[in-house]
């Protein structure tokens, strides 16, 4: 009898342990982990990893720990759909991503169909939330501004500060780059100023000297570029080599020191728009200090990714469930304290307040003007 009792007790103990163990809640971060824009993917990944670690250290969400999956879309729309389907197969309930608007938009259709809430920390094309709202989707959000806001700000500012100058608008044909360039052009026109030329480039090329020659022939004083930092760096570098001193202005995709590394001294004076510097906010002080202690500078989209996970986790805790529809409703119900300040969201999933400012590069770094 005794020989049977001990194994039986052990089996009961194991069964009890399994029954009472808390399973992980699986979430994901998705972006360009590899490829030309891997610098931004690294920012998002580090932001997500720290947010998850900090939340788990504080007790997790609904008494469970968070497990983080990573999806690498290389900012390619087709790859983004593959990543989204892969994350579905891994049982994620929430995705912080993607980075490129051209990735976030097609991936959002997969997440919507599979019941996964999505918050992008970086996708600024208005269509990301506009199209979702028009389709009746409620689980798409972003912790960044929109290109119509960014374009309105940039176009009006250019018209005011470069009155009488020759302005060229160049885009890279991407959802983000062309969208931002088009919206900046609209704002420029509304302010009573027209560009002297518009051009599109093919991203990934290494020689933009033909473009630079056209810009020189048009006696361009200002180049507004809608696109990503690798191409912007090549354009300004090759412009300087050909003696073109026109100011280069762009959007938030230049929000990385890698631009200065690629452009070298040609980066000096280049300006870009973005939200006010999050690293300087009191709400970010502790996280920034800890990132820096680990030897990582939390620039770019590090903190907006951290904030995306914070918003989701707080809303889940308040809703008492990870159900995407209930969490989305909760997200819209109030403002949320994050490392990038208090964030509120409207019916479309956009921030209720988004302010843009100019930054300028100098001596390999950038600062808010």
pLDDT above 90 covers a percentage of the chain that reads 92
What pLDDT shows up at residue 2?
Answer: 39
User: Could you tell me if 158 and 145 are in contact, meaning their C-beta atoms sit under 8 angstroms apart?
Assistant: no
Q: Answer whether residue 9 shows pLDDT above 90.
A: no
pLDDT score, position 13: 42
Confidence of residue 110 (pLDDT cuts 50, 70, 90): very high
> What's the pTM value of the predicted model, to 2 decimals?
0.88
Antiparallel, parallel or unpaired: β 117-120 and 271-275: unpaired
Q: Fold identical between 20-145+280-354 and 148-275?
A: yes
Q: Is the pLDDT of residue 91 over 80?
A: yes
Share of the chain above pLDDT 70, in %: 94
Q: What does 139-178 look like in DSSP terms, one character per residue?
A: -EEESS--HHHHHHHHHHHHHHHTTTS-EEEEE-SSHHHH
- The pLDDT score that the predictor gives to residue 23 is 62
Q: Say whether pLDDT at 14 is over 90.
A: no
On the question of pLDDT at 94 being above 90, the answer is yes
Query: For the residues 253-278, what does the mean pLDDT come to?
Result: 96
- Asked whether residue 16 carries a pLDDT value surpassing 50, the answer given is no
- Which of the pair, 30 or 8, is modelled with greater confidence? 30
Number of residues written out for the chain = 369
The CA distance from 262 to 264, in Å, is 6
When pLDDT is averaged across residues 24-38 and rounded to a whole number, the result is 97
Strand order of the sheet with strand 94-97? Answer: 66-72, 25-31, 94-97, 117-120, 140-142
Q: What is the DSSP string of 10-22?
A: HHHHHHHHHHHPP
CA dist 60 → 110, 279, 301, 337, 345 (Å): 27, 25, 23, 17, 24
CATH architecture of 148-275: 3-Layer(aba) Sandwich (3.40)
Average pLDDT (139-151) is 97
DSSP β-bridge partners for residue 223: 168, 248
> 246: which 2 tokens?
């026109």
pLDDT of residue 218: 97
Q: pLDDT tens-digit profile of 172-195?
A: 999 999 999 999 999 999 999 999
Q: Does residue 18 have a pLDDT over 90?
A: no
| Lookup: tokens for 207 | 């020689």
Q: Helices marked H in the chain — which ranges?
A: 2-20, 38-57, 77-89, 101-114, 127-134, 147-161, 175-190, 209-217, 229-241, 258-263, 285-293, 302-319, 324-332
Whether the CB-CB separation of 213 and 242 falls below 8 Å is answered with yes
Give domain limits for the chain. 20-145+280-354, 148-275
Q: How far apart are CA 98 and CA 44, in angstroms?
A: 9
Average pLDDT, the chain: 94
Fold of 20-145+280-354: Rossmann fold (3.40.50)
- Looking at residue 12, its pLDDT comes to 38
Query: Which residue is it, tokens 């819209």?
Result: 332
Phi, psi (degrees; rounded to nearest 5) at 30: -135, 135
């Amino acid at each position: 009898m005794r020989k049977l009792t001990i194994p039986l007790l052990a089996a009961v103990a194991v069964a009890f342990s399994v029954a009472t163990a808390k399973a992980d809640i699986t979430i994901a971060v998705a972006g360009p982990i590899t490829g030309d824009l891997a610098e931004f993917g690294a920012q998002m990944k580090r932001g997500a990893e720290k947010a998850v670690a900090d939340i788990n250290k504080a007790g997790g969400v609904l008494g469970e720990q968070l497990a983080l999956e990573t999806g690498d879309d290389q900012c390619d729309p087709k790859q983004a759909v593959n990543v989204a389907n892969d994350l579905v197969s891994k049982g994620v309930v929430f995705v912080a991503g993607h980075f490129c608007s051209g990735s976030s938009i097609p991936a959002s259709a997969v997440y919507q169909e599979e019941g996964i809430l999505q918050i992008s920390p970086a996708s600024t094309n208005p269509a990301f939330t506009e199209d979702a709202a028009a389709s009746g989707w409620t689980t798409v959000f972003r912790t960044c501004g929109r290109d119509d806001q960014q374009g309105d700000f940039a176009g009006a500012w250019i018209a005011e500060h470069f009155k009488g100058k020759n302005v060229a608008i160049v885009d890279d044909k991407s959802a983000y780059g062309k969208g931002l360039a088009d919206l900046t052009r609209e704002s420029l026109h509304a302010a009573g100023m027209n560009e002297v030329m518009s051009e599109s480039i093919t991203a990934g090329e290494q020689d933009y000297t033909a473009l630079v020659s056209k810009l020189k022939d048009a006696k361009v004083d200002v180049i507004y570029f809608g696109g990503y930092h690798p191409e912007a760096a090549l354009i300004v570098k090759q412009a300087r080599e050909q003696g073109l001193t026109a100011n280069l202005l762009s959007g938030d995709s230049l929000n990385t020191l890698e631009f200065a590394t690629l452009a070298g001294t040609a980066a000096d004076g280049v300006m870009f728009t973005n939200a006010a510097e999050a690293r300087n906010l009191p709400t970010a002080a502790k996280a920034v200090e800890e990132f820096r202690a680990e030897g990582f500078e939390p620039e770019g989209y590090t903190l907006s990714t951290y904030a995306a996970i914070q918003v989701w986790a707080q809303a889940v805790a308040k809703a008492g469930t990870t159900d995407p529809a209930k969490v989305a409703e909760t997200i819209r119900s109030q403002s949320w304290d994050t490392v990038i300040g208090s964030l509120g969201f409207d019916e479309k999933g956009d921030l209720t307040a988004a302010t843009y400012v100019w930054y300028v590069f100098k001596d390999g770094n950038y600062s808010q003007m």
